[in-house]
Structure 1
Amino acid sequence: MSLRLHAPVVLPCDPSCSVLRDAVVDVVDGRVAHVGPAADAPAFDGEVRELSGILLPGLVNAHAHSPMVVLRGLGGDLPLLRWLREAMWPAEAKMVPSDVRAGMLLGAVEMLRNGVTTSAEMYFHGEQLVDAVLAAGSRVLFGAAIMDLPGMPWRPMTDEITRWIDADGLRFGPHERVELGYGPHSAYILSPEALGEVAGLARDRGALVQVHVAESVEEDLAQRESHGSVPRLLERAGVLGGRVLSAHSVHLSPEDVLIYARHGVGVAHCPGSNTKLASGIAPIRSYVDAGVKVGLGTDGPASNDDLDLFEEARLAALLARVTSRDATAVRAADALLLATRGGAAALGRDDLGALEPGRWADVVHVDVDDPAFATGLDAPDEQVLANLVWASGTRRVKDVWVAGERVVSDGETTRVDRREAQAGVREVAARLR
């Protein structure tokens, strides 16, 4: 399969966030083969699509619990721990595997329509979740949720995902759409010994570990009193050193940040969820300056309550600016890179998050027939980026390709009937209330 996408503006999301004018993206066998100005493009023998607007890489949602769309709106005015204990966990206890599939299917549809082609999911019933992702045509890094609660011992959950990885491999599916990994929930749910053992299994297999860290001040108070901080606990327990994604990470000390930088830990910054649950504001500028890899996550659609990564990019930049009182703390280009290249780096993936030769051809087409782009695409580069990040966002996402396959056309998913997916979630939600 060979496809050339030709557009007035291409944003490859390279480290300098270049703006390419009158440019092409060539796709061969699902991967990017060439990106650059049309005038310099090599001869091409394949389908050519002439597009208006802007092309950019698929956004990378570095932390989500997307099946929770079936719980959207529950406990919306509660703080984090009460929200978990009084609203989420009782409702989740009623969920069956097919509920997870219904929720993930609509979640994947919602994300694709918002330009999100990859999500890192921590949840249960992985086979159903993965099946939904493959049906929608998106990508997932599935971290099997591992908890240690009454009636939910951690070891069988760990053994189950280990067997799955050993049987099917770390990545599989069409164009490696699925990656398996471990999702030990947190240091306040699991002991240091359990966390260390899970991380050791992950390191042996090159798998990603997704773990919640320092989301709110109250949640891990006992761990901080015993160990100084959760990052210190993780370091001493042998959790760090492999591929580790630390979700939220709102309340980190400068020493914690250095621990993360030293071990190459990625951070999933979730500003929408953090502000809605009044958990706090992570000082991500200091994290990036220290060399920590930072991406953006929506968290679950019951705590955010949407799956809109452009919104997270805007929030991340706005919060960084107002807390530092520095309007240059996170620029529009920085925010876009957090949602693309940064998320891929935080997850330890160098094949996603940018339009570069060799990476998967996950491409988003943004239509510019909108007041947000009234100043035109011939405006200066900084203005084009500003209009995309600050003014347009997801509402003008028109087409999406994953590994060169068109999975969104004119704003609607091609593989899944959105209205049927919505009806499926409505049926599940009515039973869980």
Structure 2
Amino acid sequence: MSTALRLHAPIVVPCDPDCTVLRDAVVDVDERGRISYCGPREGAPPRGQGTEVRECSGILLPGLVNTHAHSPMTLLRGMGGDLPLLRWLREVIWPAEARLRPADIRAGMELGAVEMLRAGITTSAEMYFSGEAVAEAVLAVGSRVALGPAVIAAPGLEGMGSWKTVVADIDRWIDADGLRFGPADRVELGYGAHSAYTLPPEALRTIGESARERGALVQTHVAEAADEDLAQREAHGSVPALLDSLGVLDGRVLAAHCVHLSDADIELFAARGTGVAHCPGSNAKLASGTARLVDMLAAGIPVGLGTDGPSSNDDLDLWEEVQLAGMFARLSTGDATALAAPRALLAATRGGAAAMQRSDIGALEPGRWADVVHLDVDNPAFATGLDTSDEQLLANLVWAAGSRCVRDVWVAGEEVLRDREPTRVDRRAVQAAARTAAQHVRG
């Protein structure tokens, strides 16, 4: 297949397992929007006359993968910001979410998708209400989503539908539109089983069966706060043990937070291939604790990074999570080598894809979607320039650069962010729509 787009840059970081740094390299994109070549410019395949060539001045790397988010909560940003998790949910968030309309959710998701593109995030795993509105927003902005419409049975949220109704709706949606749909498979459908403390075992068992039958991803909160699942732990030992007994872990599962896991829980997740979304920023802000990242990685659990919702973090910047993951891993172990810069970067890219059991995103490799981020190095973070060792370059990329360096973004070879502005939607109009929606929600 012919090359439709060639991106050339002095540095390409494809996020292969060794976190290799390529110099004077190109990324070729075919007509389907998939990568056909990533490597040194010398030795690249010949390009046709119709190939578009973009000369990029900085660093190219794969789009970041946000493995846990509730992005429409951009509308709720700043509400209850000084409360612990369970009080924050019950006293502030759930009452506010009960007032959400589908149009509000779409407005909040569009703003979240734009914010994430400006941070170099091309894929997010979303758990939220009104799944159709979330999907419409993502398709409008041009990013990518793994969508688990929220299934929850919590006081005040009865208007969102019973768990049986929501699960049946998801079943029908997947059966009608397929597991993935939209241009370049931008939307993946799954199940957002909120948690074991907001859903009865019958619901979790049913969700697990529906998801396995369809090969769908189940997203769920696990062991976020120490006091959220006391009844489940007393009855079953732990939430992972409960999920396993119900057959949920026999399918594709992405467990968010996982702060309070035992050694047995970690062994169980490793044995079942369960993915984990590590959310250090949100867990710190809500004083939930620090997940055992080093132990989970050592056990072979696929771990990605997540921002969580923008009202508990309070932004959608995965670069911050990369840094916090590294610092908290070092602080909790007392070992400054616990999580080196390359491994932290891989957690936000390749690791996130692996946690979702996706082999088509998260790296610049032939056959994967051409989700590419261009970082501007005309910035104090790269004061030493690019003519430095690979080790120092990756250190500057992880510890100093951040989202401020994101300049351009492509999803499936389509430029959806240029000079930090989205190409498909007007950012100011999106912000205005979100302000209007937020005023309605807050009353």
Does the pair score TM above 0.5? yes
What does residue 370 of structure 2 align with? Answer: 361
Alpha-carbon distance in 1 for matches of 2:179, 2:438: 32
Deviation at 1:196, TM superposition (A): 1.1
Q: How does 1:257-276 map to 2 (within 5 A)?
A: 257-276=266-285
Which residue identity does 2:16 align to in structure 1?
D
2:422 equivalent in structure 1: 413
CA drift of 1:291 comes to 0.7
TM-score norm. by structure 1 comes to: 0.99
The equivalent residue for 2:263 is: 254
Query: Does 1:292 find its partner at 2:294?
Result: no
Give a deviation string over 1:169-228, Cα, whole Å, max 9, x none: 000000000000001110001112210111110000000000100000010111111111
Counterpart in the other structure of 2:29: 27
Q: Is 2:209 aligned against 1:200?
A: yes
Determine the structure 2 residue equivalent to 1:15.
17
Are positions 1:55 and 2:60 aligned together?
yes
- Deviation of 1:149 after TM superposition, in Å, equals 3.3
Residues 1:241 and 2:246 aligned together: no
SS across alignment from 1:2: strand
The gaps in structure 1 that reach 5 residues or longer are: none
Matched, 1:101 2:106: yes
Where does the alignment leave 5 or more consecutive residues of structure 2 unmatched? none
Measure the CA separation in 1 of the matches of 2:61 and 2:237: 42
Which AA in structure 2 matches 1:8? P
Partner of 2:11: helix, strand, or coil?
strand
Provide the residue aligned with 1:230 in structure 2: 239
The equivalent residue for 1:43 is 46
Q: Distance in 2 between matches of 1:408 and 1:53?
A: 16
Letter matched to residue 362 of structure 1: D
Q: What is the correspondence of 1:152-167 to structure 2 with a 5 Å cutoff?
A: 152-167=161-176
Q: Which amino acid aligns with 2:173?
A: W
Cα distance in structure 2, aligned partners of 1:279 and 1:418: 34
Among candidates 159, 180, 193, match of residue 184 of structure 1: 193
Once residues 197 and 264 of structure 1 are traced to their aligned partners in structure 2, the CA distance between those partners, rounded to angstroms, is 20
Deviations 1:310-331 (A, max 9, x none): 1100000000001101111111
Deviations along 1:372-417, whole A, 9 cap, x unmatched? 1011101100111111111011101000000000000011111111
Q: Distance in 2 between matches of 1:432 and 1:154?
A: 23
1:147 pairs with 2:152? yes
- Structural mapping, 1:49-128, within 5 Å: 49-128=54-133
Amino acid paired to 1:200: E
Partners of 1:39 and 1:149 in 2: how far apart? 59
* 1: CA distance, partners of 2:431 / 2:395: 33
1:323 is matched with 332
CA distance in 1, matches of 2:318, 2:105: 22
Shift of 1:128: 0.8
Structure-2 separation of matches of 1:289 and 1:320? 12
Query: Which 4+ residue blocks in structure 1 deviate beyond 3 angstroms?
Result: none
> Residue 148 of structure 1: CA displacement?
2.0
Q: Paired residues, what number?
A: 433
Equivalents in 1 of 2:201, 2:249: separation in Å? 12
The CA deviation string for residues 118-150 of structure 1, in whole angstroms up to 9 with x for no partner, is 000000101111000000000001001111235
Alignment equivalent of 1:343, drawn from 352, 364, 372: 352
Instruction: Report the more deviating stretch, 51-60 or 188-197.
Output: 188-197
User: In structure 1, what is the equivalent of residue 316 of structure 2?
Assistant: 307
Provide the TM-score with structure 2 as the length reference: 0.97
User: How much is the aligned-residue C-alpha RMSD, in angstroms?
Assistant: 0.8
Task: After TM superposition, give the deviation of residue 153 of structure 1 in Å.
Answer: 2.1
Distance (whole Å) between structure 2 residues aligned to residue 64 and residue 297 of structure 1: 6
CA distance in 2, matches of 1:410, 1:148: 43
> How many angstroms apart in 2 are the aligned matches of 1:25 and 1:60?
19
Instruction: State the one-letter code of the partner of 1:53.
Output: G
- After superposition, the C-alpha distances for 1:84-143 in whole angstroms (9 at most, x for unaligned) are 001100000001000000000000000001100000000010111100000000000100
Q: CA deviation at 1:50?
A: 1.0
- Mapped to 1, the partners of 2:192 and 2:43 lie a distance apart of 45
